[in-house]
Amino acid sequence: METRKKRNVRRKGMAAGVATVLAVSLLTACGANSNDGGEASGSSSSSSGGKAAQPVKFSAMVPFFAAQPPATDDSNPAFKALEDKTGVKLDVTFVPGSAYDDKVNVTLASGNLPQAIVVTNNKNSSVINAIRSGAFWEVGPYIKDFPNLQKYWNDQIATNISVDGKIYGIYRERPVARKGFLFRQDWLDNLGLQQPKTVDDIYNIAKAFTTDDPDKNGKNDTFGLALSSDGLASDTMIDLVTALGSFNKWGIQDGKATPDFMTPEYMEALKLLKKMYDEKLINQDFGAIKGTKVRDFINQGKAGMVTGSIDDANSQFTSLYKLIPDAKIGFVAGLEGPKGVKLPANSGYYGEFMFPKSSVKSEADLKNILSYFDKVLDPEVEKLFDFGVEGVHSKVENGNPVITNQELFANQVADLGQLRIAPSDLTWPTENDVMKKVKQMYKEQAPNAVPNVTEPFLSPTQAERGTDLDTIINDASIKFIMGSIDEAGFAKATEEWRKQGGDKMIDEFTQEYNKAQNK
């Protein structure tokens, strides 16, 4: 099977406390005769993924990350074009990204399932239990029947998403070297500062952004680093910890799987953030900020830096440019530390589309839906996702598409991308300078990306209790930064993590790692 190399993912955990309820609900739904999700209607596609004789109709649930989801009716020419080009009728439920995992839990528990659902963490116990109980279609054997999917497929990413060696979804590919720091480049220019290259630079720039009037308005109204409670774990800490020379979440130390928070580098990063918090270089309410709201500090001209995906520079700061037309966003992926330039590697995907048997009733229905995912990899559909509709969102210059209305594109097209799959190295001749630089950085920094060594492995304890265990450490990290606990308090939280299942998780991952090494 033809494969390519790259890939990344940010994972979000799902609440584990409802695992048993969800598994039971899925089993019930799987055996039910009711047509909860409707059927993927239309003539079945051929084994080569050919076009159905009638429009395929299916329902889907996906996240969105803008202020509002894109319209899914004829008022949105991009959505209409997507349906026309793929030969489908889509019934889409968009859910805010910050609440998406909770919504997945509720939806799974209800048994009223869409026919295609993005699952952001297939290692969650409820999903694993449902998979093992036969609630989701195994799609691995069908990939070869669809030429575009076969070309898209990457065996390493497939291994990462597999459960018991089988593939139960279509991964949404992301680049490996994607995480980094985004910052107000115009503020750096105003202050005569260079882009950050080390962890020390992050502190020094944050301080200058707070104390040296970087926007030159004569007011003390800016601060250095915008931080959120969930972004602390998913972005900021792993950016700093890997730069300081430690693990990306998990590594191998003295022959055992070891979480990053048990390393000296983690405490070093916590102390740095505490210092920044104490000096008010970080928003003081970060413990109450979640999801994309952290970007509001940048878009409102209040903060100078944020952690995230470097490609956010191209799409997430439209409000800033509207407020301050001369604003510029810069970015770096990877900071230099004791082991050279390092950054956390992503896993190659952000979620996967999975297909419940309770709503996808037959193999023919499954093939009809898979044909949609094959078609979104056609060049004309890829162009639609990236440039919108010609004459509305873009125009053609010298034979190549160019976006002409960025705001309209952001409102109508950008989050339609949650309905697609695409290779992370997809490029266009007319991409703007920001995306050219982003994709060049993807390539340059991929060799410096530190993998999470446990990514391909299943830990029953992580699946069952991972979210609760993560919460223990994340809460302790927030409390340490805010000053309500000290190192002894953090050590106590670590011991609690170990007692509540962490030690068992270490043993399980160690065993899985050793098995893989001995193959």
Q: State the Cα–Cα distance between residues 76 and 60, nearest whole angstrom.
A: 18
- The separation between CA 439 and the C-alpha centre of its own chain, rounded to angstroms, equals 17
- Mean pLDDT comparison of 99-113, 116-130, 298-312, highest-scoring range: 298-312
The pair of structure tokens assigned to 373 is 């995912």
What is residue 141's DSSP assignment?
G
For position 17, what pLDDT does the model report? 36
Mean pLDDT of 252-263: 97
φ, ψ dihedrals at 64, nearest 5°: -135, 160
Between 182 and 22, name the one with better pLDDT. 182
Closest CA to 46 of 114, 153, 141, 142: 142
For position 53, what pLDDT does the model report? 58
Burial class from Cβ neighbours inside 10 Å (0-12, 13-18, 19+) for residue 7 reads buried
In a domain, 66, yes or no: yes
Mean pLDDT of 55-65: 95
Q: Which stretch of DSSP H or E encloses residue 439?
A: helix 433-445
Same-domain status, 430 and 462: yes
Between 132 and 360, name the one with better pLDDT. 360
Between 123 and 498, name the one with better pLDDT. 498
Same-domain status, 451 and 320: yes
Share the mean pLDDT of the chain. Answer: 89
In a domain, 7, yes or no: no
Q: State the Cα–Cα distance between residues 306 and 300, nearest whole angstrom.
A: 13
Query: pLDDT band for position 9 (50/70/90)?
Result: very low
Q: Which CATH number belongs to the domain containing residue 263 in this structure?
A: 3.40.190.10
Same-domain status, 415 and 430: no
Query: pLDDT band for position 51 (50/70/90)?
Result: very low
Closest CA to 378 of 5, 2, 51: 51
Q: State the Cα–Cα distance between residues 144 and 2, nearest whole angstrom.
A: 10
Same-domain status, 233 and 138: no
| pTM over 0.85, yes/no | no
- Tell me how far apart the terminal alpha carbons of the chain are, to the nearest angstrom: 21
Task: Indicate the residue among 421, 455, 473 that finishes a domain.
Answer: 421
In a domain, 152, yes or no: yes
Between 1 and 295, name the one with better pLDDT. 295
Strand residue runs (E) in 14-76: 56-64
- 375, 50 Cβ separation under 8 angstroms: no
Output b/e per residue, 170-188; b: 16+ Cβ within 10 A. Answer: bbbbbbbbbbbbbbbbbbb
Mean pLDDT of 97-106: 90
- Show the domain range for 122: 16-176+348-421
Q: How far is CA 2 from CA 151, 381, 382, in A?
A: 6, 21, 20
Render pLDDT for 395-416 as a digit per residue (tens, 0 to 9).
999 999 999 999 999 999 999 9
Same-domain status, 139 and 259: no
Same-domain status, 332 and 353: no
Q: Which of 11-20, 53-62, 91-100 has the lowest mean pLDDT?
A: 11-20
For position 430, what pLDDT does the model report? 86
Same-domain status, 168 and 195: no
Query: Is pLDDT above 60 for 63?
Result: yes
Task: Indicate the residue among 421, 448, 483 that finishes a domain.
Answer: 421
User: Reading across the β-sheet that carries 223-226, which strands appear in turn?
Assistant: 223-226, 303-309, 179-184, 329-332
Same-domain status, 68 and 130: yes
What's the domain count of the chain?
2
Give me the half-sphere count of Cα atoms (radius 13 Å) on the Cβ side of residue 490: 22
In a domain, 234, yes or no: yes
Q: State the Cα–Cα distance between residues 368 and 366, nearest whole angstrom.
A: 5
- List Cβ neighbours of 259 (8 Å cut-off, separation of 6 or more): 247, 249, 250, 473, 502, 506
Query: pLDDT band for position 40 (50/70/90)?
Result: low
- The separation between CA 67 and the C-alpha centre of its own chain, rounded to angstroms, equals 17
Task: Indicate the residue among 394, 421, 448 that finishes a domain.
Answer: 421
Query: pLDDT band for position 16 (50/70/90)?
Result: very low
Query: pLDDT band for position 516 (50/70/90)?
Result: confident
Same-domain status, 245 and 231: yes
In a domain, 6, yes or no: no
In a domain, 80, yes or no: yes
- Mean pLDDT comparison of 117-121, 286-290, 371-375, highest-scoring range: 371-375
245: left (phi over 0), alpha (psi -120 to 50) or beta: left
Beta bridge partners of 62: 94
Length of the chain: 519
Same-domain status, 145 and 186: no
- 411, 315 Cβ separation under 8 angstroms: no
Between 348 and 82, name the one with better pLDDT. 82
Query: pLDDT band for position 123 (50/70/90)?
Result: confident
Query: pLDDT band for position 41 (50/70/90)?
Result: low
Between 338 and 19, name the one with better pLDDT. 338
For position 23, what pLDDT does the model report? 39
Mean pLDDT of 324-350: 96
Same-domain status, 238 and 340: yes
In a domain, 4, yes or no: no
In a domain, 309, yes or no: yes
208: left (phi over 0), alpha (psi -120 to 50) or beta: alpha
Same-domain status, 303 and 256: yes
